[in-house]
Structure 1
Amino acid sequence: MTLFRVLILPALLVFVLLALVANEYAEAQPSRRTAGIAYVPTTEAGFDTERHRLDVYAPRKRGAAAYPVVVFIHGGNWNSGNKSLYSFIGRRLAKQGVVAVVINYRLAPNVQVPAMADDCARAVAWTYQHIAEYGGDPQRLFTMGHSAGGGLAALLAADNQLFMRQGLAANPVRGAILDDPAGLDMYDYLKKMKYDGDAQYLVPFGKDPAGWKAVSPMYYVTAATPPFLVFVGGKTYPSISSSSEKFRQKLTQLGREPQFSVLAGKKHVPMVLQLYWKDNVIYQELLKFVGAGTAVAPAATGFRR
């Protein structure tokens, strides 16, 4: 299949996610969830009572040292998705010694991708400022996302201006975990308009090529960019395979070669569904990447802005 239908959440996927959510409470009890936290002041003009919220999943027992932190950003074609469908990811991470923050952000057609990125940056800034209250280490903060969320997670790691606009002196993101990411280079993708139906992406991305480049992580990575851990499905969409490989090559040229794995036989949707099982390869590598169980994350050691 060649059409770039990234992150459309079909009814079947939503059904499967809801089934996983229904089961995860019994499977992941060693965690505590604080749900529905507003990361934008509720009195602020434009506050969205549903989309400007996040959930925190923390290990039930406080550790001798603060836990690493992963902010998870859902996919959904930039026009759908909800944090409540991914509670199993938050609980699985908490069960394995990570404080997880699962966020909502505004979606198209109400806003375009720059506003989505600003929402995600505000959620990360809130996490940086408050996560110590939940046992997390703000100095070991990582972003993670699937599909459209993967592209946003990469942008947060690479575009420091997103955080300067939030009043932070430096980007707090120490690394990014990308699960079958979409949107790494929408400038290149939308210039080509290669597939039927590509016009739909002009709703979240607009019609200005300069705007496409402005939200494409490909054009922000530098030799100072933090580490990336990237997983791509062996049977995912061609656009994701090609843009992820191009992203890998650019990071490598910059001296920032990512940890990069192609998971044989995996299609796009199963790349996120597999996160229901705590022993899958993504969690195995993620825990090492963020330094779960250690005082300092190996991936972040020596990294400075």
Structure 2
Amino acid sequence: MYYFVEPPRILSWVDAVAGGGRGTEEVATAVPFGTTGQTLDVWRPAGDHPTTSRPVLIFYYGGGWVHGDRGAYAFAARAYAKAGFVVVVPDYRKVPSVRFPAFLQDAAEAVKWTRDNIAGYGGDPTRIATAGHSAGGYAAIMLPMDPHWLTAIGVDPHIIKAAVGLCGPYDFFPYDKKRSIDAFKGVVDGPATQPIHYARAGLAPMMLVTASNDTQVRPYNAVNLTKALKKAGSPVEFREYQGLSHEDVAMALSVPFRGKAPALSDSVSFLKRVLK
């Protein structure tokens, strides 16, 4: 019998061996949140007192709305915790069990849980940012752009003070890939599912990261949204890492592959500047 272990989990193991966990601690595991039985993990710098008031980052992992789980992305959580953040990594429901907007609703519920509980883990609920890779980048950017998902559960959308999208899809309608077709099957208003549809003035500062060799989520997603945000007058920073693939950008958050691109240092610098 053969068992498949997804690459992100292997990367987390390798990252741990390479010392990625030094200086961090996982202070909560499989904490229930929301109304659908989802769970989340919380990481922070090692030795922090619970009354410490650090900036907070909610990190949404990728996987095409089909794969992934919070434990496999410990390498990303450790990276940002080591940089000084209290990090929340939530799970969310996947295709084919659900379609849009279930995974986005779960992402919003994670923000609500963070608002209500993160102070008990040393995080500052007035300094919350979102970040994510690929499908996780969609959630990280969509939540502060379309206020509906947070207001629907009694959360002020302005609670998200900054957002980082790593190779996320923001301008992909009409759907032309199997994963997006499956994930958004049955949607009546396709353009309304697109972050770019909500570009306007007054949004939280954003950093959009892409890679020149990304064939899964084409760079035009970040390029087009950057142009739309600038035109609307909202603050946005753009990074394109040359020669990298879709997976390379996520891998660059880990200790063994950090030399691939400054994805971690660029995003940390941006977040700390905005959340000062």
The match for 1:201 is 180
Q: Is the 8 A contact 1:78 1:113 kept in 2?
A: no
The match for 2:266 is 285
Cα separation, 2, equivalents of 1:110 and 1:286:
33
Which stretches in structure 1 are left out of the alignment for 5+ residues? 1-10, 292-297
2:150 partner SS: helix
Cα separation, 2, equivalents of 1:18 and 1:199:
24
Find 1:130's aligned residue among 98, 117, 120. 117
Q: Is the 8 A contact 1:142 1:290 kept in 2?
A: yes
Cα separation, 2, equivalents of 1:250 and 1:300:
23
CA offsets 1:62-107 (integer angstroms, 9 cap, x no match): 3795111111111111111111110011111111211111111001
Q: Is the 8 A contact 1:248 1:257 kept in 2?
A: no
CA offsets 1:1-27 (integer angstroms, 9 cap, x no match): xxxxxxxxxx79x23x23322234451
TM-score w.r.t. length of structure 2: 0.89
| 1:167–1:23 CA distance, 2 compared to 1 (3 A) | same
CA offsets 1:206-259 (integer angstroms, 9 cap, x no match): 14450x223211112220110111111111127521121110100010112411
Q: Which moved more, 1:238-247 or 1:158-167?
A: 238-247
RMSD: 2.1
| 1:31–1:117 CA distance, 2 compared to 1 (3 A) | same
2:246 partner SS: coil
The match for 1:56 is 42
Trace 1:1-305 onto structure 2 (pairs within 5 A). 14-15=6-7, 17-26=8-17, 27=19, 28-33=21-26, 34-40=28-34, 44=35, 47-48=36-37, 52-62=38-48, 66-182=53-169, 184-187=170-173, 189-190=174-175, 193=176, 198-210=177-189, 212-237=190-215, 240-277=218-255, 281-291=262-272, 298-300=273-275
Cα separation, 2, equivalents of 1:24 and 1:36:
21
TM-score w.r.t. length of structure 1: 0.81
- Cα offset, 1:29, TM superposition: 2.6
- Cα offset, 1:281, TM superposition: 1.3
Q: Is the 8 A contact 2:211 2:244 kept in 1?
A: yes
Query: What one-letter code is carried by the residue in structure 2 that aligns with 1:299?
Result: V
CA offsets 1:149-191 (integer angstroms, 9 cap, x no match): 1111110121112111111244311111111112x1233x32x
Q: Is the 8 A contact 1:140 1:290 kept in 2?
A: no
- Cα offset, 1:299, TM superposition: 2.0
| 1:200–1:238 CA distance, 2 compared to 1 (3 A) | closer
2:158 partner SS: coil
| 1:170–1:78 CA distance, 2 compared to 1 (3 A) | closer
Cα separation, 1, equivalents of 2:243 and 2:251:
14
- Cα offset, 1:113, TM superposition: 2.1
Query: What one-letter code is carried by the residue in structure 2 that aligns with 1:284?
Result: S
Cα separation, 2, equivalents of 1:20 and 1:169:
36
| 1:238–1:24 CA distance, 2 compared to 1 (3 A) | closer
Cα separation, 2, equivalents of 1:106 and 1:147:
16
Q: Percent identity at matched positions?
A: 25
Which stretches in structure 2 are left out of the alignment for 5+ residues? none
Number of aligned positions between the proteins: 266
| 1:236–1:130 CA distance, 2 compared to 1 (3 A) | same
